[in-house]
């Protein structure tokens, strides 16, 4: 009993210390995303790094010749597909977009990858596919699906009935399946109507493709099976597309399939499709803090040259270039303390800025700027967020009390020391906080012995990148990618540099009205964290018809608004003659505590401007009124911080008091038992014989 109480007290104290440690600075905002350890030596988690094509089983022969589409320049009347990007580059290892396949449409979250040439999703018949974000594609449920029959232009299965594909990637993951053709839909923000296209229906996944949350890959590379190539060949888009990734600690972004009017100050560099099958750029020099690295320009032209790959997380330089870059950065930061990286198995280049509250915009005051210089001497300025990642460690605490095991997770922006306390009954991993805050590591690594220069997504965070394939060039324009989506919506996919600054209302509650010129505006009072969007919608069907179909309508709205079904909540609906008034609430997703202004405006404008097309069974609709509520809900541990701390202190005091009382009582019992009055009979004890 005594040992059990001591063990229990030790466990209480251990838990309390760990909780107080993790709560020593209660957060005022959601914690920054957790960074996975940087992928070194081929061990790249949850991302695609195609440094070489799969020569054994190409689905079709690759054509190195350029594709020219008549009247496909940026001034043509071709529409484009504006698509939102989701996830986070360093948290997930990739960005995804939403693509709908089939009739009726089946939704998929696909990694946008300029290094892949096939778009593929898991097939319903796949027994060797992982568990992903959305259900597998069911060909039999699509009335427009057709398998691609075996022909001379593709690899065929063993029975020579269907065309097949196979793709292998450098991090040892692979995808195999059959080719099918169906209607691809690009979302309700797209000017481009749904198009028939060939895609892969997976029957087998291995490696990261099996374990990742995303459903599959959207191939944007050069090749006959690429979505871009197929749409260009149909003549429905210009031979161009653009990507814009969110910045440090900010996910999301935008993608445009087709041409946009380039901003006047966009920096272009040549991209030779004959040089390599990947999107390469003409990199000649790298400058750190205005000083050119002592490198021969030819170092950036080895093997595949300098490749820009959206499916790769970090950047990788040839050995000599990496050493020169690393030394230059260390020299400029000699006043900062160099610390250990997140993975003890690798030697990362990490620094402590000395402050835990450094804003991303202020990093340039601490870390040097980097410039990429192209063949025509044009320069792309890289801010610190384009070559650094924030050092965050995730710690799993394991506690065993007898046969009972507990597991807890913490995130620390620091370097941690781990200590172990154990006994026969209790096993606790104690974390010692070494108080290293505001830590950052280089997101540029050595590309092993491969002489290719590989520039991943970190290089182009908060940068609009236009892949102008028709004119064999790639453009870069620094911007806020988290806001670009709304600017593209307002400008109709034209020049993203032009944006409206006017506001038509300043309240958070408003009926839907149209501004002059016919375009609707929905202004919110500054940048607020939105906790709920309330919508009142009038439907031209009566209550008795709507009631049994309300769940179907809820799911449909979620699909059309490109949000999760769990975010759409029915508040109530009432009858108004032959019509119905339905009240909805849109709430943040499970992975977020608020809805961004951009997302809220997008949802409101979609409904107000009737760009959400309801099935005819639900008749017509009108958005009568909308209202947004600021997010007043704090994280639980922040909201009850004082209460929790006080409770823990009380538990510690009670536990220590109980332990002390127990020890005192036991001590007194021993003293009482050891004292006997002189008149008390003492039981005889046998004398032991003396040893001679």
Match 């970190």 to its residue by tokens. 458
Whether residue 67 contacts residue 234, with contact meaning beta carbons closer than 8 Å, is answered with: no
Query: Treating both helix axes as pointing N-terminal to C-terminal, what angle do 641-674 and 2-22 enclose, rounded to 10 degrees?
Result: 160
Extract the tokens encoding 180: 């099918």
Extract the tokens encoding 664: 């005192």
Euclidean distance between CA atoms 527 and 502, whole angstroms: 15
DSSP 144-207: T-EE-B--TTSEE-TTSSBEEEEEE-TTS-EEEEEEEEEEEE--TT-SSPPEEEEEEEEEEEET
Q: Is 206 exposed, middle or buried (0-12, 13-18, 19+ CB in 10 A)?
A: middle
Match 């021993």 to its residue by tokens. 670
Name 168's bridge partners: 174
Catalytic residue among 113, 182, 215, 348: 113
Extract the tokens encoding 96: 């995804």
* Nearest in space to 367 (alpha carbons), one of 347, 380, 345, 386: 386
CB atoms within 10 A of CB 576: 12
Name 174's bridge partners: 168, 206
CA 98 from centroid of its chain's CA atoms: 13
Euclidean distance between CA atoms 426 and 395, whole angstroms: 19
Euclidean distance between CA atoms 253 and 245, whole angstroms: 5
Euclidean distance between CA atoms 287 and 370, whole angstroms: 6
Strand bridging mode 306-308 / 453-455: parallel
Judged by DSSP in three states, 10 sits in: helix
CB within 8 A of 23, min separation 6: which ones? Answer: 637, 641, 644, 645
Our answer to whether residue 113 is catalytic in this structure is: yes
* Cis peptide upstream of residue 142 (ω within 30 degrees of 0): no
Name 106's bridge partners: 101
CA-atom Rg of the chain in angstroms? 31
Match 């509250």 to its residue by tokens. 357
Our answer to whether residue 309 is catalytic in this structure is: yes
Catalytic residue among 182, 215, 309, 348: 309
Whether residue 87 contacts residue 215, with contact meaning beta carbons closer than 8 Å, is answered with: no
Euclidean distance between CA atoms 122 and 367, whole angstroms: 43
Whether residue 651 contacts residue 12, with contact meaning beta carbons closer than 8 Å, is answered with: yes
Catalytic site positions: 113, 309
């Amino acid at each position: 009993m005594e040992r059990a109480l001591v063990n229990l007290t030790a466990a209480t104290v251990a838990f309390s210390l760990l909780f107080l440690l993790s709560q020593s600075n209660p957060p005022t905002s959601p914690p920054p995303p957790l960074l996975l350890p940087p992928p070194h030596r081929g061990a790249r988690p949850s991302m695609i790094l195609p440094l070489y094509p799969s020569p054994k089983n190409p689905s079709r022969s690759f054509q190195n010749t350029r594709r020219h589409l008549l009247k496909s320049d940026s001034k043509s009347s071709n529409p484009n597909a504006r698509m939102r990007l989701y996830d986070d580059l360093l948290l997930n290892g990739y960005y995804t977009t939403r693509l709908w396949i089939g009739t009726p449409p089946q939704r998929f979250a696909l990694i946008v990858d300029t290094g892949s040439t096939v778009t593929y999703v898991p097939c319903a018949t796949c027994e060797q596919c992982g568990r992903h974000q959305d259900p597998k594609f069911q060909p039999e449920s699509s009335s427009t699906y057709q398998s691609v029959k075996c022909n001379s232009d593709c690899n065929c299965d063993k029975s020579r009935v269907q065309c097949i594909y196979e793709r292998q990637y450098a991090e040892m993951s692979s995808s195999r399946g059959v080719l099918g053709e169906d209607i691809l839909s690009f979302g309700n923000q797209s000017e481009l109507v749904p198009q028939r296209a060939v895609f892969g229906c997976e029957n087998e996944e291995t490696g990261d493709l099996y374990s990742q949350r995303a459903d599959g890959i959207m191939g944007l590379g050069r090749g006959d099976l690429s979505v871009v190539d197929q749409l260009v060949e149909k003549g429905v888009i210009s031979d161009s597309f653009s990507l814009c990734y969110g910045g440090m600690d900010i996910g999301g972004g935008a993608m445009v399939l087709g041409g946009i009017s380039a901003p006047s100050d966009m920096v272009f560099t040549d991209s030779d499709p004959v040089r390599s099958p990947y999107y390469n750029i003409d990199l000649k020099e790298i400058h750190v803090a205005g000083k050119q690295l002592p490198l021969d320009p030819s170092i950036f032209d080895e093997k595949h040259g300098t490749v820009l790959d959206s499916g790769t997380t970090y950047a990788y330089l040839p050995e000599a270039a990496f050493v020169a870059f690393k030394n230059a950065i260390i020299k400029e930061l000699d006043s900062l303390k160099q610390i250990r990286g997140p993975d003890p198995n690798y030697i990362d280049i990490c620094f402590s800025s000395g402050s835990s509250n450094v804003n991303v915009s202020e990093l340039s005051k601490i870390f040097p700027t980097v410039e990429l210089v192209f063949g025509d001497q044009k320069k792309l300025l890289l801010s610190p967020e384009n070559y650094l990642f924030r050092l965050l460690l995730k710690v799993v605490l394991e506690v065993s009390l007898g046969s009972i095991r507990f597991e807890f997770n913490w995130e620390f922006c620091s370097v941690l020391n781990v200590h172990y306390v154990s006994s026969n009954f209790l096993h606790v991993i104690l974390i010692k906080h070494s108080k290293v805050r505001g830590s950052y590591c280089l997101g540029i690594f050595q590309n092993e012995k491969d002489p290719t220069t590989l520039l991943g997504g970190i290089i182009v965070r908060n940068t609009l990148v236009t892949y102008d394939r028709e004119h064999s060039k790639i453009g870069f324009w620094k911007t806020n990618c988290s806001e670009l989506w709304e600017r593209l919506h307002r400008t109709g996919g034209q020049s993203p540099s032009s944006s409206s600054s006017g506001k038509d209302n300043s309240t958070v509650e408003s009926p839907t009205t149209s501004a002059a010129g016919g375009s609707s505006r929905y202004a919110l009072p500054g940048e607020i964290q939105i906790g709920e969007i309330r919508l009142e919608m009038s439907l031209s069907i009566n209550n008795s018809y709507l009631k049994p179909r309300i769940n179907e309508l809820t799911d449909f709205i979620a699909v059309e608004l490109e949000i999760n079904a769990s975010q759409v909540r029915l508040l109530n609906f009432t009858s108004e003659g032959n019509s119905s008034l339905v009240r909805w609430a849109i709430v943040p997703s499970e992975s977020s505590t608020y809805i961004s202004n951009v997302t809220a405006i997008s949802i409101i404008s979609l409904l107000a401007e009737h760009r959400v097309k309801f099935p005819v069974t639900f008749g017509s609709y009108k958005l009568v009124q909308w209202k947004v509520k600021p997010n007043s809900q704090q994280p639980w541990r922040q909201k009850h911080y004082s209460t929790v701390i006080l409770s823990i202190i009380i538990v510690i005091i009670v536990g220590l008091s109980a332990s002390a009382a127990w020890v005192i009582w036991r001590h007194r019992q021993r003293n009482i038992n050891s004292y006997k009055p002189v008149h008390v009979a003492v039981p005889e004890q046998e004398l032991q014989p003396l040893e001679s």
